[in-house]
Amino acid sequence: MPGFEVFGAEERKQVNDVLESGILMRYGFDAMRNGHWKAKEFEEAFAERMQVNHCQLVSSGTSALTVALASAGIGAGDEVIMPTFTFVASFESIMMLGAVPVLVDIDDTLTLDPAAVEAAITPRTRCIMPVHMCGSMADLKALKNICEKYNLLLLEDACQAIGGTFEGKPLGSYGDLGCFSFDFVKTITCGEGGAVISNFEHYITNADQYQDHGHDHDGNDRGAETHPHLGYNFRISELNAAVGVAQLGKIDTILDIQKKHYTIMRNAISGVEGVTFRRVPETGVENYSFLNFFLPDGETAQKAHKALLEAGVDGSFYWFTNNWHYINGWEHLRELKSMGSLPAEIKEQMQDLNTTDFSQSDHWMSRTISCLVKVGWSEEEVQKRAASMKEALSSI
């Protein structure tokens, strides 16, 4: 990770196909396209790769989450359970629809704790949204059982874990809906882009309409299409989709390289006293985009993080104090700082995040370090990096 490390002739060819036709929009202008429909091509190939029936491309991973939620009818006042460790897009996508994010603790998977999820369910709960952070997954079997027990939607945010699997199924395909990001630093990239996948046709029909102002996309005369529902503009462009077509063809190579580099790094530090590793749920397989490990306590973790950076191990993250990925840095959410007036449902139902006890999440996040796994490293660079990590952590 990320996919831009392997940009080459394949991406240039796909983009040139679009530029030579002059049609950058994914819809219409049929006669001028020279047979090129990059978004459609990417959707079909991605659905096949993810082993699902349907895929809808959109403009970003954030919009994928919003479109997926909207496609399932989630709106004002509906509650969506999400983790304390994620990217800000999780609550942004929920709140855009007037729905209410309900934050709950993570466990040693660094994702939703099923017990905390079940304890947070109310009559307004409509959806459980696990976020497969840093290349690995939530305890999906337990979460699916909870969803079936309470008749809830299971929406997988697999934006950071494309290529991982659970029970032999690609992450994103296990729940009712799955979402992906193809931004510039993801395992495969479109520059900007995202996708919603599902085996349920009605969700993707709704997603297809919602992401394009409600167009029904019936026939080949865009001006004659009807609008069964209100929508918005979350379309992907043909240029972005063209990059994705080429990147998808490289995904297995990228994943193989990530696993190789991850394994070298993990083996190097596995014998260091005090270092333990994130739990991967049984039957789960990571995508190996991050090496995630724990130190015995928060103070030691901060020292270790500083030692890694001083040793030249860039791409090492201490999320506990990160502005974007952990609740400690989300003062704008805690204080509901908005440019405009928020929906009454959010103001009335939102939990008080300044007083909610997230000590369980703090226990895990304060001890966690994540190290990025790049695909562009040579074997010599990986070995040197692994040795530096071992030395730095051993010094602590």
Helix axes 379-395, 298-310, angle to 10 degrees: 140
Categorize the per-residue pLDDT at 345 as very low, low, confident or very high, splitting at 50, 70 and 90.
very high
The pair of structure tokens assigned to 319 is: 């999320």
Model-level pTM greater than 0.95?
yes
Q: Report the run of H or E that residue 196 belongs to, with start and end.
A: strand 194-198
Q: What does the pLDDT average to over 73-84? A: 98
From CA 40, how far away is CA 15, in angstroms rounded?
A: 15
- Going along the chain from its start, the domains and CATH numbers come out as 3-249 (3.40.640.10), 252-395 (3.90.1150.10)
pLDDT tens, 104-145?
Answer: 999 999 999 999 999 999 999 999 999 999 999 999 999 999
pLDDT tens, 237-247?
Answer: 999 999 999 99
Q: Is 337 a catalytic residue?
A: no
Residues 6+ apart with CB under 8 A from 184: 2, 4, 191, 192
Q: What integer pLDDT is reported at residue 75 of this predicted model? A: 98
The pair of structure tokens assigned to 74 is: 């989630």
Categorize the per-residue pLDDT at 313 as very low, low, confident or very high, splitting at 50, 70 and 90.
very high
Annotated catalytic residue within 144, 186, 250, 390: 186
Please, is 182 exposed, middle or buried when counting C-beta atoms within 10 Å of its C-beta (0-12, 13-18, 19+)?
Answer: buried
Categorize the per-residue pLDDT at 2 as very low, low, confident or very high, splitting at 50, 70 and 90.
confident
Are the C-beta atoms of 342 and 336 separated by less than 8 Å? yes
Categorize the per-residue pLDDT at 1 as very low, low, confident or very high, splitting at 50, 70 and 90.
confident
pLDDT at 375 over 90: yes
Q: Show the CA angle centred on residue 366, arms to residues 167 and 391, nearest 5°.
A: 90
Burial state string for 316-351 with b = 16 or more CB within 10 A and e = fewer than 16: bbbbbeeeebbbbbbeebbeeeeeeeebebbeebbe
